[in-house]
Structure 1
Amino acid sequence: MRYEILGPLRVTDDGGSHFISARKVQVLLALLLVRSRQIVSIDDAIGEIWGEESPRRATAGVHVYISQIRKFLARPGRPDSPVVTRPPGYLLQLDDDEFDVHLFQALLHSGRGHLKARRATEAVSAFESALALWRGPVLDNLGAGPVIEGFATWLGETRLECVELLVDAQLSLGAHRELVGRLYSLTAEHPLREAFYRQLMLALCRSERQADALRVYQQARTLLREELGLEPCRALRELQRAILVADERLDRAMTAFGPSLFAAA
């Protein structure tokens, strides 16, 4: 059985994918997953489900939802529920390979290791496998309380880190021309994420499009100054200067792992 929250919340097994329709029950199961192997107190559950406007019988409601989750997770041949009572609340027991978030983290860690060891092909494979686990926004934007929302924000940032590392690995394999279109999309989707501008400039320069690379720098600089009152980071400034003087290090930077010569400090 696998719990999956990198998209709509679902549980998959040999019988297929299973969903919970009741939102409050979804929120409680999501909280148990986010806090897997940790005790979720009754008060934490109430706060996540109802916020500051909890009903008088909120505690009884949590008990009912736990009962529904146990029934939802019950499987033939598995007499014990993975949801156990642990004062002052409940605990979800699961193995690493039963939660898609743990699988994503393991693949991301593996990709980082390959990248550090200069194994580009293996790094690309690990990062692509990690990103393939995502089916949409975390919990399909369930809209719960601060614990789940904070976890979803962290996961979204971690996913973008995985995308950046994947692009760095692909750049090191010489896939510059193939990446230009995707990187234009990424800079449009994440206009304040300077790493994508750096990667786009490298891809354009390597594709013999130095003028376009410098135009990207000016666009990034204008946006950062207007939105935040900031100049581009040192990595972007150094890359712009290198393009202007046709620095011979550009070729090495664009074929080395994670273009380290012009990576952010």
Structure 2
Amino acid sequence: MLRFSILGALQIRTAAGPADVAGDLQRTLVQSLLVSEGQPVSGEALAEEMWGDRVPDNQANALQAHVSRLRRRLRELEPDRPAARVTMHPAGYRLVVGEGELDAAEFTRAVRLAESAAPSDAERAARLLGDALAMWRGPVFGGFTAGTLCQLAGARYEEYRMRAMELRFDAELRLGRPASLLAELHEAHTGHPLRERFCEQLMIALYRAGRQADALDVFRRMRRLLDDELGIQPSPALRRVEHAILSHDPALTGDLRRLQPV
């Protein structure tokens, strides 16, 4: 069994330890097949990912040579595996990845489980999301995303990571742990200053920690930033949190779903 990790620099692990593939083109080929999570990728898409606008004249032969080279390398890493990892289909090439063999698939599965958890099961949701977020070692592929296919996948996984962070912060706030979240929320809000949900969560945590003035200052700075950068006003959800803080809405220390509209 191989273990593929893409939530960070590409890693391949065997029972004996870490392994690799040689060369940027081979690495791009593996990455392009992995982001499809078991679905076929057309030869044209793979060639564009690997060579960009410098696709060789003998594109099909060059791609087939790299696929054959990758098959041999994966066979070396799994000599007891009866079937090839890389298969060819009418729609293109497919890298067979089993359950538990790709960290990105495990990550998305854990986030979906947390999303389906009942509001009363915040402890389980927080644990699932914490474990899922711990899988990340850095940017997808370590930032090595040469072509559009991998770039789009990187953006998709990164957006899902932001969603997982928001869900975890929500779960921790439901569990009454605002003080322990403040440093992480500050970091998330600073790193993604236009993401309003992080701003809302930081304001709520500050209010619950007895720092109402700081919470309102965060809102004022966010309002200026949105106006300066995008020319828009804060969303109704963010303004609802500000209104709740100003009016000391009891929902801020209880069920946040009961926040009154502005």
* The two structures share one fold, judged by TM-score above 0.5: yes
Aligned to 2:257: 260
Aligned position for 2:42: 41
Partners in 2 of 1:236 and 1:107 — Cα distance?
28
Cα distance in structure 2, aligned partners of 1:90 and 1:248: 56
**Correspondent of 1:103 among 96, 101, 106:** 106
Q: TM-score under structure 2 normalisation?
A: 0.93
Which residue is 1:168 aligned to? 170
Determine whether 1:212 maps to 2:227. Answer: no
Distance 1:58 1:229, change over 3 A: same
Q: Distance in 2 between matches of 1:181 and 1:232?
A: 23
User: Which moved further from structure 2: 128-137 or 155-164?
Assistant: 128-137
Which residue is 1:32 aligned to? 33
For the residues of structure 2 that align with 1:188 and 1:21, how far apart are their CA atoms?
A: 38
Distance 1:46 1:262, change over 3 A: farther
Give SS of 1:97's match: coil
Which residue among 80, 83, 86 is the counterpart of 1:77? 80
Unaligned runs of 5+ in 1: none
Q: Distance in 2 between matches of 1:161 and 1:47?
A: 30
Maintained 8 Å contact 1:236/1:262: no
RMSD over aligned CA atoms reads 1.7
Alignment pair present for 1:141 and 2:143: yes
| Preserved contact between residue 244 and residue 260 of structure 2 (Cα < 8 Å) | no
User: Structure 1's 183 and 262: CA in aligned 2 closer, same or farther, altered over 3 A?
Assistant: farther
- Cα offset, 1:57, TM superposition: 2.8
- 1:19 aligned partner: 20
**Letter of the structure 2 residue corresponding to residue 3 of structure 1:** F
Residues of 2 paired with 1:187 and 1:84: CA distance? 44
- Which secondary structure does the structure 2 equivalent of 1:119 belong to? helix
Please state if 1:59 is matched with 2:63: no
Q: Which moved more, 1:235-244 or 1:29-38?
A: 29-38
User: What CA distance in whole angstroms lies between the structure 2 residues aligned with 1:128 and 1:20?
Assistant: 31
| Alignment-derived partner of residue 242 in structure 1 | 244
CA distance in 1, matches of 2:257, 2:145: 39
Counterparts of 2:204 and 2:127, CA distance in 1? 22
The residue that corresponds to 2:130 in the other structure is 128
Percent identity reads 34
After superposition, the C-alpha distances for 1:126-153 in whole angstroms (9 at most, x for unaligned) are 0011111111110111122111111110
Instruction: Give the match's secondary structure for 1:84.
Output: strand
1:98-127 Cα offsets, whole Å, 9 max, x none, are 11111011110111122x342111111100
Q: What letter is aligned with 2:74? A: L
Kindly state the Cα deviation for residue 60 of structure 1 after the two structures are TM-superposed. Answer: 2.1
CA distance in 2, matches of 1:240, 1:88: 52
> Partner of 2:93: helix, strand, or coil?
strand
CA distance in 2, matches of 1:222, 1:70: 54
Write the distance in 1 (CA, Å) between the matches of 2:258 and 2:233. 19
| Cα pair 1:7 1:140 within 8 Å, conserved | yes
Structure 2 CA distance for aligned equivalents of residues 234 and 214 of structure 1 = 16
Equivalences for residues 174-189 of structure 1 within 5 A:
174-189=176-191
Q: Distance in 2 between matches of 1:34 and 1:161?
A: 19
Unaligned runs of 5+ in 2: none
Choose 47-56 or 196-205, whichever is displaced more.
Answer: 47-56
Distance 1:113 1:263 in 2: 25
Report the Cα distance in structure 1 between the residues aligned to 2:220 and 2:231, rounded to whole angstroms: 14
Stretches (4+) displaced over 4 A: none
Distance 1:87 1:251, change over 3 A: closer
